[in-house]
Amino acid sequence: MKPIHESLELLNEQQRNAVLHKGSALLILAGAGSGKTRVITVKIAYLIEELGVDPRSILAVTFTNKAAGEMRERARDLSEAAEGVVIRTFHSFGAWLMRRNAAALNLSSNFTIYDDDDSLSLLATLYPEKSRQQLKQYNTLISRAKDSCLGPDDSLEDISGDPELQTVYAAYERRLREIGNSDFGDLILRPIELLQSDPAIAERIRNRFSVILVDEYQDSNHAQYRLLSELYRPGSYICVVGDDDQSIYRFRGAEVKNILNFPELFDNTDIIKLEQNYRSTNPILELAGSVVANNQGRLGKQLWTSREDGALPVIARLSDSDAEVDYVLRLIRDDFEGETAILYRTNAQSRLFETRFLQEGIPYRIVGTLRFYEREEIKDAVALLKLIANPKDEVSFNRIINKPSRGIGKSALADIKTHLHPARGNLVLAAEYAMASARKRTSTGIAAFLDVIRGMETQLKESGGGHLGELINSGLERSGLAQYYINQDEIAGSTKIQNLEELVNAASLYSPDYEGLVEFLEAIELDSSREQSDEDAMVTLITMHNTKGLEFDRVVITGLEDDLFPRADNGDPDALEEERRLFYVAITRARHELHITSCASRRIHGRIQRLNPSRFLGEIPGELVEFSGRSAPDTPGDPSSIFSDEDPWAAWSRAGQGEPGFSRHSGGKEEDVQGDYPRGQAVYHDDYGPGEVIKSMFNGSEEVIIVRFQSGQTAQFIPRFSGIEKISSF
């Protein structure tokens, strides 16, 4: 065990100032890769060993069990006495406080903590007439209310406009108290209640913890801030560590204003900025700083490093998502030593990379989610397709007949299978036979299911154009799966609908008939059956949110197009600023090399659509990046910006990159062959209205056209699959 002075000597000046600070409240603004964990653990040891602070009087809180465990272990390595420090997550500390004062809360010290499923079950006993989906919605809203420190008697208008919420919340809370248990939100809310309602207990607890340390403070919600406020008293020492530029969990209730307003909420606050970065090269840090500087809601700092090496980050302006994957494959095959991470905004973006990596035999790992074809919503949609292709497929039939719930339980399912013999193994036909003798609710459910299957079968038989993705869209709508997963996304903040849309994109390359269906299912099976070991992974696939706290030798940030990243902000400046912080987090994951890709078109809802580059790229000074090995293009607008305000793609075309929307890697030829849709041809599309072909080209034998519509929109189509029609004029 090192003497504390040796640990201090290993710190830089600002880190050392943060450790030695005492007296007033302290906000440590710790930039990405600046060694904040080292600072907070050395500070714990310094308080004990040098200032003689009783370890039992130190409370250190963070947000995950892993982070708390690491803090505990590193503090013990520096001071054996740190064993007595209370180092916990916010919720673990809340439970600790409640059990020691259970009687004051009218609880048994052995009370049970309800998880989401338990809370849902409790709501179901109170409201048996409501669907599980409705109850999930209320469960989520109650949790949000508790994170905002709101009880059932408070105004809940900011949580939801549902007039029933207050009644449901009150009934739920009343029953929870009668049972004598607590849910997850109570672990913060009830300690606040305890400290506010019992002055004797409050004084004892505040006297016990004279030092309060908080890590990752930018991730705190309103209730957690209120708990800290109740624990703090004049004369206590409070120190929070965080980075306002890395606050990216607003969807979980995190409040960036907690860290921004800390100096106003705690008198005489000192601010120490940790700006020396030990992770990334200087060019990467300069790029990160130029991006996040566009946010208004920040306290401000500038990361720097003593490293003098490092290439400029590269922006690759690509024609489409296939070219994006090709670009990444070329990077992976170079002689770079180290791990490459592919970052994206939504999980759905992993599909193309997974498919190509499997085809090319490139080992990869995917972090934070299942592989694309293993995801629940994808397996549900594929089960529909498999049953259409083979009505004897029992596994697919069992998976999908009662999802979403149609009142077809286990006994009804068993009854259907008694009709398999006369139906010659056809489960769909067996369900039709069973419907006549089934109970009314079951019969109605079977009829609804058969309507889905028969409708999809008819669509396949009578298809006169379009693509297979349209069959999936129809099946998802008819079956109720689309609405089912829309509701789940709304409740859980998940992206299941985006994953289903990506499945539609994958299917849009196949013909809308039985032959196309079988080919698509075969392609899925081949991809799913290729086994890999994560141990040999050359590449990591991961969403930007999941990269928080991680670092990689080389990072490729994909999908820098408006409405994909940043997502459509609907005029909410706070949402846009959080998206920009997410970009900053993604950039600062890179140690040595950074690439950013932006595509001119992507397949969306099964159609090729032209896209605008992300507005974030337009905020980057051109001298900070390279453009796929070329110098920055000329920009007639702002000379410090990558893009022209007039036409964000024009500069790229002038730099010799070709026309956006045309896939050069595919070997296509521009207008070498006279197609069915020559330039100037008037056309009509159901979604876009009338338009005119402005470019015609061929990708192999497939004609591809770019159309400018009366609305001013421009889009790219494969006529054979798009439902576009020729008209004489408009």
The values of phi and psi at residue 554, to 5°, are: -130, 135
The answer to whether the annotation marks 30 as part of a ligand binding site is yes
3-class DSSP assignment, residue 654? helix
Distance CA(291)–CA(458), nearest Å, equals: 52
Which segments of 198-281 does DSSP mark as H helices, in order? 199-208, 222-231, 256-260, 262-265
The answer to whether the annotation marks 37 as part of a ligand binding site is yes
Total Cβ atoms within 10 A of residue 553: 14
Secondary structure of 262-279 in the HEC alphabet? HHHHCCCCEEEEECECCC
Distance CA(432)–CA(417), nearest Å, equals: 11
Distance CA(484)–CA(471), nearest Å, equals: 18
Token pair, residue 143, equals 């949790």
Distance CA(409)–CA(124), nearest Å, equals: 18
Distance CA(411)–CA(667), nearest Å, equals: 57
Distance CA(328)–CA(595), nearest Å, equals: 9
| Closest alpha carbon to 186 in 154, 227, 219, 158 | 227
For the chain, what percentages of helix, strand and coil (3-state, to nearest 5) are there? 50, 15, 35
Total Cβ atoms within 10 A of residue 513: 15
The answer to whether the annotation marks 31 as part of a ligand binding site is yes
The answer to whether the annotation marks 629 as part of a ligand binding site is no
Token pair, residue 666, equals 């595919």
Total Cβ atoms within 10 A of residue 290: 17
* End-to-end Cα distance, the chain: 82
Range 554-581 burial, b when 16+ CB lie within 10 A, else e: bbbbbbbbbebbbeebeeeeebbbbbbb
Token pair, residue 726, equals 């020729």
Helix (H) or strand (E) holding 517: helix 514-529
- Catalogue the E-assigned strands of 426-508: none
Token pair, residue 505, equals 């994109």
Distance CA(477)–CA(401), nearest Å, equals: 15
Sheet holding 26-30, edge to edge: 86-89, 58-62, 211-214, 237-242, 26-30, 270-274
Token pair, residue 281, equals 């090269």
Distance CA(680)–CA(644), nearest Å, equals: 28
- The residues annotated with a catalytic role in the active site are 36-37, 215-216, 246, 589
| Closest alpha carbon to 538 in 525, 556, 521 | 556
**Cα torsion at 630, 631, 634, 638 (round to 10°)?**
130
Q: Taking the CA atoms of the chain, what radius of gyration do you get in angstroms?
A: 29
Output the CA–CA distances (angstroms, integers) from residue 646 to 532, 612, 634, 643, in the order listed.
47, 12, 13, 8
Distance CA(473)–CA(586), nearest Å, equals: 33
The answer to whether the annotation marks 33 as part of a ligand binding site is yes
| Closest alpha carbon to 373 in 400, 393, 355 | 355
The answer to whether the annotation marks 35 as part of a ligand binding site is yes
Concatenated DSSP letters of 574-594: HHHHHHHHHHHHHHTTEEEEE
Distance CA(602)–CA(349), nearest Å, equals: 11
The answer to whether the annotation marks 361 as part of a ligand binding site is no
The values of phi and psi at residue 578, to 5°, are: -70, -40
The answer to whether the annotation marks 36 as part of a ligand binding site is yes
Binding site listing: 30-37
Binding site listing for ATP: 30-37
